[in-house]
């Protein structure tokens, strides 16, 4: 059986859990990382020398890096709807998965750390307001991309929506001032109607 190592409130672990829920895949999960520790223990470093989460063990095949795991599971289970077979659609999904790592994630991290992991009395209000403005400009890119499509890779939901979809939950639920981005809002609303998204992603941020 598929084994997932990582805590359920980690955005990167949620990517994998979300896909498993969408595909109906059974798995076991062990809490690793954050308050659970274990990432520096020899047995875990043998699995993942980066000392990060998630890591999967799929009947002896060990893989880390969350987006790589999404691609692997999508390909293995031949989910051509979730992980398109057509090269251009696959490239579109791929691009926005990488965009989450390079652009959306780094823009959201200061906000998440500032509002979720920092006590109110220790927050730098000016820095957080500036970070919200910067993140808004980043989300404006995706809003413009969604002008002529319902999802990041085209007309249907794919794995490409997952990494940015998890960051979008944070964007729409942190106590920040957000610009009016109607297409982004419509896309996010569609995600919130997916049972797997509600189950895995729409949980309290701690």
Provide the pLDDT confidence category of residue 80 given band limits of 50, 70 and 90.
confident
DSSP 160-196: THHHHHHHHHHHHHSS------HHHHHHHHHHHTSHH
The least confident of 24-28, 76-80, 140-144 is 76-80
Q: What is the SS3 string spanning the chain?
A: CEEEECCCCCHHHHHHHHHHHHHCCCEEEECCCHHHCCCCCHHHHHHCCCCCCCEEEECCEEEECHHHHHHHHHHHCCCCCCCCCCHHHHHHHHHHHHHHHHHHHHHHHHHHHHHCCCCHHHCCHHHHHHHHHHHHHHHHHHHHHHHHCCECCECCCCCCHHHHHHHHHHHHHCCCCCCCCHHHHHHHHHHHCCHHHHHHCCCCCC
Q: How far apart are CA 198 and CA 45, in angstroms?
A: 32
pLDDT digits (tens, 9 = 90+) for 4-24: 999 999 999 999 999 999 999
All structural domains of the chain: 2-76 (3.40.30.10), 87-198 (1.20.1050.10)
pLDDT score, position 191: 98
pTM for the full model? 0.94
d(CA 91, CA 37): 36
pLDDT digits (tens, 9 = 90+) for 172-203: 999 999 999 999 999 999 999 999 999 999 99
The pLDDT value recorded for residue 137 is 98
């Amino acid at each position: 059986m598929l084994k997932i190592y990582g805590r359920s409130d980690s955005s990167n672990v949620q990517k994998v859990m979300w896909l498993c829920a969408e595909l109906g895949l059974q798995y076991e999960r062990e809490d690793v990382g954050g308050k659970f520790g274990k990432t520096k223990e020899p047995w875990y470093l043998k699995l993942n020398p980066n000392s990060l989460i998630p890591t999967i063990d799929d009947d002896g095949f060990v893989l880390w890096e969350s987006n790589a795991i999404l691609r692997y599971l999508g390909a293995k289970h031949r989910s051509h709807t979730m992980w398109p077979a057509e090269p251009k659609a696959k490239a579109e999904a791929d691009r926005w998965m990488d965009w989450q790592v390079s652009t959306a994630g780094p823009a959201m991290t200061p906000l998440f750390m500032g509002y979720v992991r920092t006590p109110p009395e220790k927050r730098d209000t000016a820095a957080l307001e500036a970070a919200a403005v910067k993140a808004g400009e980043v989300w404006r890119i995706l809003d413009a991309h969604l002008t002529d499509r319902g999802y990041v890779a085209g007309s249907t939901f794919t794995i490409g929506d997952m990494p940015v979809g998890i960051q979008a939950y944070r964007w729409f639920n942190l106590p920040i001032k957000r610009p009016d981005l109607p297409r982004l809002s419509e896309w996010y609303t569609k995600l919130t109607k997916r049972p797997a998204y509600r189950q895995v992603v729409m949980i309290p941020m701690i």
